[in-house]
Amino acid sequence: MAQNHTRNAATSSDYRTMRGYLFVLAFGGAVLVMAGVQTAGLLVSQRLVADSYKVLQRQLSASYERDVAGVLEHQLAYLHMLLRNPAVIGAIRRGDREALMREIQWQYELKRQENPHVEVLHFHGPDNRTLLRVHQPENFGDDLTTLRPMIADANRTRESRTGFEIGKNGISYRAVVPITDGGDHLGALELGINIAYFTERLAEIFDVQVGVIFQGAAMQPFVAQHGDTELLPLGNDSFAFSAMDALVREAGRHSQQSRANLIPFDYQQKRYVAHKVFGINSYLGEKVGTLLVVADVSEQVEGIWRHTMWSSAGWLTLLMLLLFGQYRIFSRMQASIHKLAFYDQLTGLPNRSLLLDRLERAVLNSARNGEYLALLFIDLDNFKQLNDTRGHHVGDSLLQQVAERLRGCVRASDTVARQGGDEFVIVLEGLSHELEKALLQTHSIGEKIVAVLNEPYFLEDDLEHRCTSSIGVALSIGGKVDVDELLKRADISMYQAKAEGRNQVTFFQSTEAGIP
């Protein structure tokens, strides 16, 4: 009996010991599995953030390249338009600065109203001396042979030149065309747009911060004019303007320490990603700087950490739920980044990137079904005046109301997009197979839009505001005109509408068969 009791006690002790071992093994296994899940979740989540922002980086690069190409086309077209004026050519031939100023100044002021980043409009003689600086008419006669090689090169070769140059006011994109009349070379005409035009457009479209990092050697013309007090060294013979936002300067320092194009870094207890989006080259192909874009990823990273910490509190039975939760978070993150990359944050309309994708599909559909498509480029008249006098929040309210009105003017199958600033674009598909009918259909919709946008807007404090619009239209059928050409034609037509008095619809005129 005592032996049985002793045997039973020993057996119970063995069972308790075994249960203890099993509990320790199960608990240890659960901890190891949870730690593995947590680590895998963090690694996968961080990789997803990096991959998603690489997609955004490609969208930024594509948008920037298209903007530069579009500005180049528009600059050259604008300069050639000025030189088609016989009065302008006559004044240049006579060297009559006053007559030239009378012919050009109002057009320059109109150009500045449409794009405040237009910096210079210069007429140069064949000897590289300035004949007229429209923005500084009191300064003329300077010899730019050494200081401005682009001018000297255009005069020497009698060919157009374009590219970025760093001058006394910073960096700008300049276009130079030769001035000829009856075989005589009369000099060169130059137009410059500050690089802030491109950086502000990217910042507005993608809701990021943008800056420019300059190469030290390229800044010599600026340093010679101002000294180096306005420059901040970042390392590796790179500089930024000291007035640049502190966050972008910090991103610039990290970018100089890394060869990668996508650099994560922490600043003031937040997580950011810096993109080396695009190298800026002079017209000779020499690198003068780098465009740097900074995006805030704090919320995404914090969300990943919160979810991962919560998931680590579960047991093995929660593994499937945890994986499902990770999938839901990844899906929401991808949807959020997709919205950031393809939709305007203010109006909810498709942005430039999504517009280009839909426009390319519209061109393919037109080629397949033989129906006309129309591209409407809409610009609000005198919008800058409202922004400057009432503030950006009032201007934003107006843009949101304009977006709603434009949605109501077209079919659900058409595309209404915001190009940036006060510029909107509409793509009309499925128009008639016949040119005359397609023109009537487009003109009817354009007049409807003009009328709807003319109706009063009610902004803050019951402010009643009226705003007109200028609309440029380009038609295409059968894929005869590509996307870039359609955008350029609609843009030219819009400026023609403004030049003819605003508040109207203007169609692009072309001699190509089947295209108005």
Residue numbers annotated as active site: 422
At 334, which helix (H) or strand (E)?
helix 319-342
At 87, which helix (H) or strand (E)?
helix 86-94
Please state, in angstroms and rounded to a whole number, the distance separating the CA atoms of residues 244 and 115: 22
Please state, in angstroms and rounded to a whole number, the distance separating the CA atoms of residues 215 and 304: 38
| DSSP-assigned letter for residue 285 | S
Matching residue, tokens 């994109």: 173
Q: Which two tokens stand for residue 215?
A: 């190469």
Please state, in angstroms and rounded to a whole number, the distance separating the CA atoms of residues 56 and 275: 10
Please state, in angstroms and rounded to a whole number, the distance separating the CA atoms of residues 325 and 366: 43
Q: Which two tokens stand for residue 90?
A: 């006559």
Phi first, then psi, for residue 410 (nearest 5°) are -130, 175
Instruction: With both helix axes pointing from N to C terminus, report the angle between 352-369 and 483-499 in degrees, rounded to the nearest 10.
Output: 110
CB 472 within 8 A of CB 495: yes
* C-alpha closest to that of 244 among 280, 281, 199, 282: 199
413: how many CB neighbours lie within 10 A of its CB? 9
Please state, in angstroms and rounded to a whole number, the distance separating the CA atoms of residues 469 and 454: 8
Please state, in angstroms and rounded to a whole number, the distance separating the CA atoms of residues 200 and 198: 6
At 482, which helix (H) or strand (E)?
none
Query: CB-based contacts of 460: which residues, under 8 Å, 6+ apart?
Result: 390, 393, 394, 397
| DSSP-assigned letter for residue 423 | E
Q: Determine the 3-state secondary structure of 411 from DSSP.
A: coil
Query: CB-based contacts of 24: which residues, under 8 Å, 6+ apart?
Result: none
Residue 486: half-sphere exposure toward Cβ, Cα within 13 Å: 27
Residue type, 311: S
CB 324 within 8 A of CB 250: no
Query: CB-based contacts of 142: which residues, under 8 Å, 6+ apart?
Result: 129, 130
CB 176 within 8 A of CB 161: yes
Q: Which two tokens stand for residue 196?
A: 């802030």
